């Protein structure tokens, strides 16, 4: 990893940018990431199919192509609470397409 010398300066909880980059590099901690992610992707695909009448996909919230979210509506929307689920990925990896599966628990 080739980072600027200032990358070694602590910026959060005593960790440098370099150390944070290493700590948030999930791909390097899983030997076969595609196989690991396959069940999440398959379940998420199924949830999108099951909820096709009650979800709004790719709703833009900003100007960039990645600025999109999916909205899953409960079967009874009267006074329904709002739950926001951020898929994780440290804003550098993964995506909403492989993290739709929790919707079936809450909708």
Taking only the tens place, the pLDDT of each residue in 17-47 is 888 888 878 778 888 988 989 999 999 999 9
pLDDT score recorded for residue 43 = 96
Say which DSSP state 74 is in. Answer: -
Contact 69, 96 (CB under 8 A): yes
For 20, residues 6+ apart whose C-beta sits below 8 A from its C-beta are: 11, 12
State pLDDT tens for residues 50-67.
999 999 999 999 999 888
pTM more than 0.95: no
pLDDT band at 3 (very low <50, low <70, confident <90, very high): low
């Amino acid at each position: 990893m080739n980072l600027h010398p200032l990358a070694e300066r602590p910026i959060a909880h005593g960790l440098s940018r370099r150390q944070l980059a290493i700590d948030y590099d999930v791909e390097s901690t899983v030997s076969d990431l595609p196989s690991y992610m396959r069940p999440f992707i398959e379940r998420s695909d199924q949830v999108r199919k099951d909820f096709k009448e009650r979800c709004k996909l790719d709703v833009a919230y900003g100007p960039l192509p990645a600025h999109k979210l999916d909205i899953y509506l409960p079967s009874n929307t009267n006074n329904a609470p709002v739950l926001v689920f951020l898929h994780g990925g440290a804003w550098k990896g993964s995506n909403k397409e492989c993290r739709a599966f929790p919707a079936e628990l809450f909708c």
